[in-house]
Amino acid sequence: MNETQNYESYTNVLKEKIKEWGGDLVGVADAEPLKAQPLDPPDLLEPFSRAVSIAVSLPWATFGEIKDKPTLIYENVYQTANRVLDELAFKTAKTLGNDEFYSLPIPASQVTDEKNWYGAISHKAVARMAGLGWQGKNLLLITRQYGSTVRLVTVLTNAPLVVDGPVENRCGKCTLCQKACPSGAIRGVGTKNHYIDRNEAMFFDKCVAQLKKHSIMLETYSLKDENREPTPTYHKLICGLCIKACPFGRKPKGRAGKE
């Protein structure tokens, strides 16, 4: 067996393991093109050549039960999905690490720059480049299998895994997410690859205002605040209606909702 075949089988075995642990979709992106997006810290990708993207789908009824605003159940399910994803990323990084590959799990839902609403790296960009799905009109990653009812996580590594390529955007003329958005935040503009920034796809302020409307404001301590003064932070920034509206989320066998 030559080296290429070795890495092909190593990649396949790793993907199978991640699926056994509970990942629904797994893909590998080349890290190089991902350097063109905002990263925190800016040199985050320097030691890494690959980014493994993992998606976990949420039970369809979580969205089926949302009427006009987020439900407390959705809030809990989404926190659970984050925990599952963080665990998957942790196990994946440890497995790669045991094989002597330098590997870093990126938390599922951590905001590192609270001013600009950025995480360390965009999981959506990684997932798109790893072929899990495309960037839809709702700005979210849409997968053929589960629509946008997936949450994502990333593991950065220097393992020479075999790279998957992006898939075609299948939104076409559909504007169901735009119609479903209670704040009129989705512009309904399509993209072949990805939006230049989030404002190309959305009136971002409207989305945030809608999320805040249904959020609970908690007084928490910001890590950056040396005086330990309480800093108001929004803790329940979820909506879910653009996810519910996407026809791709309802298609898979066994996921059919009552509507």
Binding site for ligand B12 (CB under 6 A): 33-34, 36-38, 78, 108-109, 111, 117-119, 122-125, 128-129, 135, 138-141, 148, 150-153, 194-195, 197-198, 207-208, 211, 237-240, 242-243
Integer Cα distance of 188 and 170 in angstroms: 14
For the chain, the first-to-last Cα distance in angstroms comes to 52
Using DSSP's 3-state secondary structure scheme, residue 79 falls into helix
Cβ–Cβ under 8 Å, residues 55 and 23: yes
Least separation in angstroms between residue 181's CB and ligand B12 is 8
Contact call for residues 226 and 217 (beta carbons, < 8 A): no
Q: Residue 63 Cβ, how far from ligand B12 at the closest point, in Å?
A: 10
The smaller minimum CB distance to ligand B12, of residues 78 and 101, is found at 78
Please choose, from the candidates 151, 150, 147, 200, the residue with its C-alpha nearest in 3D space to the C-alpha of residue 176: 147
Residue with smaller CB distance to ligand B12, 12 or 257: 257
With respect to ligand B12, which residue has the nearer C-beta, 14 or 39?
Answer: 39
Residue with tokens 């629904």: 24
Residue 36 CB, nearest distance to ligand B12 (Å)?
Answer: 4
Residue 40 contacts residue 34 (beta carbons within 8 Å) = no
CB atoms within 10 A of CB 43: 8
User: Which amino acid is located at 121 in the chain?
Assistant: I
CA distance 141 to 133: 6
- How near is the Cβ of 19 to ligand B12 at its closest, in Å? 18
Q: What tokens does 120 get?
A: 């360390």
Q: CB of residue 208 vs ligand B12: minimum separation in angstroms?
A: 5
Nearest position to ligand B12, beta carbon:
119
Tokens of 256: 């059919």
CB of 254 to ligand B12, least distance (A): 20
Q: Nearest approach, Cβ of 151 to ligand B12 (angstroms)?
A: 3
Question: Of 10 and 203, which CB lies nearer to ligand B12 in the complex structure?
Answer: 203
**Closer residue to ligand B12 (CB): 1 or 216:** 216
Query: What is the token pair recorded at 56?
Result: 């976990």
Q: Give the residue with the Cβ less far from ligand B12, 14 or 84.
A: 84
Q: Which is nearer to ligand B12, 94 or 235 (CB)?
A: 235
**Which helix (H) or strand (E) is 203 found in, with range?**
none
